[in-house]
Structure 1
């Protein structure tokens, strides 16, 4: 007989930032699994963690993972709350121990397990800026009406909880319950599950918008970049200062390529009030060349490859040394203007909170 298992955790981000803006690509989400948080059920599944993962809440640093364990069949059982496992060894031994307990029923009511998981996350959160993840491993489930797991899964996802499903058999069985792109089967390999966990740990501060591959699809793959549209008419110099104090290492936005430019334009259409659209970005003329604004202490990033100049621009960069996007038909084009006199809205940019960039509760 099988006991079906749900694992849940609250997850944090990390300190170091290996990304180099000089690479001239937009920052990806962090990929350091040793600074992650994971949910697993057997020794094989435990391998998605790695022995260096910090389990519990007693670490001297905040990059930790709290893991809870819920089993379910005809009813759900809380085996371990979020505060019990305080090391990877605790987690490994605890999971293996609970799997040795046989079930006395063939029932598999996943709704009871999800309800218990929701109760634990709501009652033992205490770390609001940590992302919440539930991993469901199952080969089947039963239930309809009050025991239908779909409404509970939808409420959890609507509240920001990520649900990763791993099916022993037909992947489609659990696909509707999972968060978009987070439905796998046991043959998928752990790299996909690890990728989903890393991505779950990649998020933006409140009010910031995460750059992603498809603006129209909020569940599309994210970058490790957060954008903030600011409805405030300011000259470029004032906008640069405002962005620098909005968040740690924030700055005026970059547009390294057409995709980033188009994404920012779509944000402008939804969030900026002024029409036609005009908004400062980080491009400015310094020492004979165009460079992108960067956080204080970081080297300037010179303009490369792709550009988006309006017809006849740039002009007189010595006196008109900064750039904004100005609407031109259905799109926007770069125009260079004077730094201290031309006012417009603006876009700020910063790193996402993830395994390479820790965001504490006060920041969040």
Structure 2
């Protein structure tokens, strides 16, 4: 893992920080005392950061020291300091140091440790410094978010992705009357503008977003203009006659998500947007598939280009950009607020955790899909991963493009997912797992029947030398990987639904992989693709999503929701109807409602009883 070494300054500083974690835990109900302790920690890190130490920054070594002394994530300390540490307490301290502007250059390292902490289950707050809550708190703002539901979005699938992106954007914001308030405005949903008061609970914000999602699905899309959107915002939220006015002496923000791209229409809003600026509203335009030159003739604080691919993946770098530069920057006339304790409505007091080995058959519910793609009067395909009845083959790119760090994170995600499954063949309802790696050639690492216990699987995942490092081969040939996956699936259980999960960091789009992927899908199997790239790398690998089954193309290198999205996709694979029944599918998303069509005249009551007699399912939609 990482070697832990450094000067006496680093050792002493890390020891001080770790010794502060215990009193910090004891004083969590005393804000004044907590701030004093955090101020001491703040000064320690400032002094360490001032020490120029190459090639490893002193702050990086500081994090390594803190994690190593916890003795939980496989990072072995050179010297055991004998401290009785709770990993959650260490994560709690680091989180607040992040909120004070420290460790900005160490986020990749923190992401690495976060991924490992998920696998080893050391508490959901351990090293949760990467969550968005601390980017917003302690800043206090009134924020208006407008969601584009017009025909410019092209289809409801993109609108669902837009709403999911907004959902992720506000995830972790501290909504309260004395913190952040957010108004969630819908533009052209059901051909109407739907205003929103300033909301102070996350539940209210999510409910409003889901209302827009359902509205788009049920009523379709309607044409609209950007100028009408701006006029609506001006009439409802600005001026003395505003229906929903902002608080006094609070910095005001507007975030407009828009796919409108008519330059003349956009230019006509310059005067209106100037009035917003004159009244203290800083407007950020998030152009969905729209380029900045289209908006060059109007007035705004910041323009953010959001490609369809980045919207679908919930790109964290873009979300951070919107939060840091569109929400939390300081408006003229305002000063930096006094540091506060970063809390959210979802923050709980960490509980003591242990590294005890978890029983592989313990029932663990799937974390809620975040966010659900479509809601309404439909029976969702929710599931527990330990009740899945699937054959699954992981196809992992281990070429040089993946990098060792990328491979570590891929293994962390696979271990997290498989760790919740039942793979014991002695039970009737279990899953079988295979794993294949590929670069120029493909290799079977784990046969489907190799493991009967998830703990053994996860142990082998980290100890098998074939998965320890990436190959030196720069060539990527997904075709050979898919061919081996197809052969493996063909030899697995009959009558069991099957899925291929592809992790790719590079992709050669020569058509051959598409041909094999189509054959796999035509055989009734599903393909889940995960484009695994650094944020600043080429998006060519995102084209691998074209191989995926509907709604199963995921693109996120270090997305904190990626595991949830994979779990949701597996629940979709596990959701099907008996032969000759028709499944309810909306915009490619499956629901656990099945329909049996017959050509007879019958009223609803007769149809209901006939439907129940025909069906052996517990949750079957019965309509005439």
Q: TM-score, normalised by structure 2?
A: 0.33
Q: CA deviation at 1:58?
A: 2.5
CA–CA distance in structure 2, aligned partners of residues 94 and 158 of structure 1: 33
Q: CA deviation at 1:243?
A: 2.4
CA–CA distance in structure 1, aligned partners of residues 620 and 422 of structure 2: 35
Q: Deviations over 1:60-102 (max 9, x none)?
A: x31x110001111122112222111211122212322131265
CA–CA distance in structure 2, aligned partners of residues 192 and 141 of structure 1: 22
1:49 is paired with a residue whose SS is helix
Q: CA deviation at 1:47?
A: 4.7
Q: CA deviation at 1:152?
A: 0.3
Relative to structure 1, the CA distance from residue 195 to residue 250 in structure 2 (aligned partners, 3 Å threshold; closer, same or farther) is closer
CA–CA distance in structure 2, aligned partners of residues 252 and 196 of structure 1: 21
Q: CA deviation at 1:209?
A: 0.7
Quick check: 2:592–2:620 contact (8 Å CA) kept in 1? Answer: no
1:230 is paired with a residue whose SS is coil
1:84 corresponds to which of 436, 447, 450: 450
Quick check: 1:244–1:251 contact (8 Å CA) kept in 2? Answer: no
Pairs within 5 Å for 1:65-104:
65-96=431-462, 97=464, 98-100=466-468, 103-104=471-472
2:518 corresponds to which of 148, 151, 154: 154
Relative to structure 1, the CA distance from residue 66 to residue 56 in structure 2 (aligned partners, 3 Å threshold; closer, same or farther) is farther
2:558 corresponds to which of 187, 191, 204: 187
1:210 corresponds to which of 579, 583, 599: 583
CA–CA distance in structure 2, aligned partners of residues 108 and 143 of structure 1: 11
CA RMSD, aligned part only? 3.0
Q: CA deviation at 1:43?
A: 4.1
1:246 corresponds to which of 603, 614, 620: 614
Partner of 2:490: 122
Quick check: 2:550–2:589 contact (8 Å CA) kept in 1? Answer: no
Relative to structure 1, the CA distance from residue 106 to residue 251 in structure 2 (aligned partners, 3 Å threshold; closer, same or farther) is closer
1:178 corresponds to which of 534, 544, 548: 548
Query: Number of residues paired by the alignment?
Result: 224
Alignment partner of 1:45 is 2:397:
no
2:483 is paired with a residue whose SS is helix
Pairs within 5 Å for 1:1-80:
25-36=377-388, 42-49=410-417, 51-59=419-427, 61-62=428-429, 64-80=430-446
1:134 corresponds to which of 483, 500, 514: 500
Q: Deviations over 1:194-223 (max 9, x none)?
A: 111111111111111111225xxxxx2121
Relative to structure 1, the CA distance from residue 231 to residue 73 in structure 2 (aligned partners, 3 Å threshold; closer, same or farther) is same
Any stretches of 5+ residues in structure 1 without a counterpart? 1-13, 15-23, 215-219, 255-280, 282-346, 348-364
Q: TM-score, normalised by structure 1?
A: 0.54
Q: CA deviation at 1:141?
A: 2.8
The structure that is helix-richer by fraction is: 2
Greater Cα shift, 168-177 or 113-122: 168-177
Quick check: 1:56–1:84 contact (8 Å CA) kept in 2? Answer: no
Larger radius of gyration: 2
2:457 is paired with a residue whose SS is helix
CA–CA distance in structure 2, aligned partners of residues 107 and 143 of structure 1: 13
CA–CA distance in structure 2, aligned partners of residues 135 and 251 of structure 1: 28
CA–CA distance in structure 2, aligned partners of residues 58 and 93 of structure 1: 21
Q: Deviations over 1:230-254 (max 9, x none)?
A: 2345677765553233121579955
Quick check: 1:56–1:67 contact (8 Å CA) kept in 2? Answer: no
CA–CA distance in structure 1, aligned partners of residues 576 and 461 of structure 2: 29
Higher RCO (C-alpha 8 Å, min separation 6): 1
CA–CA distance in structure 2, aligned partners of residues 253 and 144 of structure 1: 43
The structure that is strand-richer by fraction is: 1
